[in-house]
Amino acid sequence: MRWVILSKIIITTTVIFSQADNFATADRFPSADNFASTERFPSADNFAYAESQSGKLGFYNRRSGGTGLVNEIGYTVIFWNLENFFDTRFDEGREDGHFTPSGEMRWSRSRFIKKRNGIAKTIIDIGVKHQKNIDTWGFPALIGFAEIENRYVLNQLIYETPLAMGSYSIVHRDSPDRRGIDVALLFCKRQFRPLKNSFIRVTTGGFKGDEVIETDKEDEVNETDKEDELIANVKEDEVIAEVNTYVTREILYCKGVLHDLDTLHVFVNHWPSKYGGERRSAPYREAAADALARVCDSILKKNSKANIIVMGDFNDTPDSRLIKDFEQRSTLKVMRSYHKRRSIFSKGEQLIKNRGTIKFKGEWEMIDMFFVSDNLQDKNEPISTDNEHFTIYYANYLMERDRFYTGNKPKRTYIGPRYNGGLSDHLPIILRINRNW
C-alpha cells in the first residue's frame, strides 16, 4: 500500500515539474497578444511587471483583466479647480474672512481636513487608474491646481495625506488676487525635474516686457522670494475705466525635464470669470490670453519643436471666439474629450463629445482645458499625446443628483453659504503623456 501511494506521489511530482519546465520555455510563455486572456494570474488591484516573449518590458493590468501587456509607459497630468480651498485662518489684506470658523461659511478644521483628504483620495485614484509607470507607484507626474489659498494648504496635501508617498514638491507663490486664491503646480520628483519657473502677472494697463524672465532652479522650487515675473498687459481699446486697475491671478510657468526624456514647458492658468457679465468681463480674459500667447510665441520662436502643455480653468469654452483666437495666435491645440458610441443607423461608431467639467443652470460647460503644442502630438518624438488620452474624471463620489435639472452635477463644497460637503464644483481633467522611446 505504501508503495502504491509513493508511486502516485512520484508520478504527480514529475507531471508538475514537467509542466513547469514547459511553461518556462519561450513557446509556452504567453505573448503580448494573448497575455490578457491567460488565467494564470490572480485578480488584484494593481499592475504586475512582466516580460513578453520578445523581451519587451511592459505592465499587465490585472484589475481590468482585458488590457493585456501594455508596452507604453505613460505619465499622468491632472488639472483641477478646487473651489475655494482655504485654510481656516484670516489673512490681513485678503477677502478670506468668510472662510474661518467664525465667518459666514463656518469653515472649520474638520471640514478642511475632510476636503483635504478627499482631494488626496481622488488624485491617488486617478493615478492608479491612469498611471502605468510601475516605478512611480501610480502617482501622477504633474498636478495643476486653481483656487488654492496658500502654501499651507498645499503642504497639508503633500505631507499629511497618503500623497506623502508620492514625493511631491510645489511650485507656487501668493498672487495679487483680491480673493487670495492662486494657482499651483505639484510635481513628482521621481518623474519631473524643474529647471526654471516664472509667474506671469496679468493686468490691463501698459505692457511691460515681452519675454519670460526665468529663474534657475535645480531641484526644489519651493522658494518664491527671488522668483522673477513677467508683467504682460493689453493695450487700452475702448475698455471701461475699472479695467485700468484690474489685477487678477498670475499664470504659473515651469520648465522642466520629464523623466530625463525631453523638456516640457508647463503653464497653469485661472483666467478671470464672467462675473458682472460676459461683455463686461471679456477684456480681463483677453488680457490673460494675450499675456499667455506672447510667452508661448516667444518659446516657439526659440525652438519650434518645444513641448508645451497649457492647463487651467479658462472660464470660456473651446468653441468661443476667445479660445479660437488664442489657438490661432499661439498655434497650440485644445484637447477635446470624446467617447465612442455605436450608431444605430450604420455599422460604424460615432465620436460623441463628453460632458463638460462644470454644470451651470443645467448645462454642462467645458471650461477646464489642456492645450498642447504640435511637437507634443508627434508620436515619433520621445513623448507625445493626443485627444484619445484626454479624459474628464467622472467618479460617483464627486457627483450628486441635480435637484433642479435632470441628471447629476459635481458635488460642490458650498451652495451659497450652506455647507454641502463635496470637494469641488469642477471635475478634474486628465492628460496622459506616452513615452515613445
82 and 32 share a domain?
no
27 and 135 share a domain?
no
123 and 157 share a domain?
yes
127 domain-assigned? yes
Q: Are 329 and 293 in contact (CB under 8 A)?
A: yes
pLDDT at 164: 96
- Per the structure, the complete domain to which residue 21 belongs is given by 2-61
106 and 48 share a domain?
no
Q: Which of 61, 82, 100 is the last residue of a domain?
A: 61
331 and 383 share a domain?
yes
Mean pLDDT of all residues in the chain? 77
* Average pLDDT for 137-143: 89
Distance CA 437, CA 424 (A): 37
Strands 73-85, 142-148: pairing is parallel
Record the pTM: 0.76
pLDDT at 38: 32
81 and 18 share a domain?
no
- Point out the least confidently predicted range of 7-21, 88-102, 221-235, 339-353: 221-235
123 and 30 share a domain?
no
Distance CA 170, CA 258 (A): 16
46 domain-assigned? yes
pLDDT at 322: 96
Give phi and psi for 101, each to the nearest 5.
Answer: -60, -30
* Average pLDDT for 107-112: 96
pLDDT at 128: 87
Q: How many domains does the chain have?
A: 2
pLDDT at 151: 95
Task: Using alpha carbons, select from 184, 201, 199 the residue that is nearest to residue 247.
Answer: 201
69 domain-assigned? no
91 domain-assigned? yes
Residue 427 has pLDDT above 60, yes or no: yes
170 domain-assigned? yes
CATH code of the domain in which 294 resides: 3.60.10.10
Residue 33 has pLDDT above 60, yes or no: no
* Residues forming a β-bridge with 75: 433
Residue 51 has pLDDT above 70, yes or no: no
* Residue spans of beta strands (DSSP E) within 251-357: 251-258, 262-270, 308-313, 333-334, 338-342, 349-353
384 and 412 share a domain?
yes
Residue type, 107: W
Distance CA 392, CA 373 (A): 20
112 and 47 share a domain?
no
Residue 367 has pLDDT above 50, yes or no: yes
Around 7, how many Cα atoms within 13 Å sit in the side-chain half-sphere?
4
182 and 238 share a domain?
yes
23 and 91 share a domain?
no
67 domain-assigned? no
54 domain-assigned? yes
* Average pLDDT for 50-66: 32
DSSP-derived 3-state class of residue 12: helix
* Average pLDDT for 71-90: 88
84 and 48 share a domain?
no
Which residues have a Cβ under 8 Å from the Cβ of 214 and sit 6 or more positions away? 196, 197, 198, 228, 253, 255
66 domain-assigned? no
Distance CA 14, CA 19 (A): 9
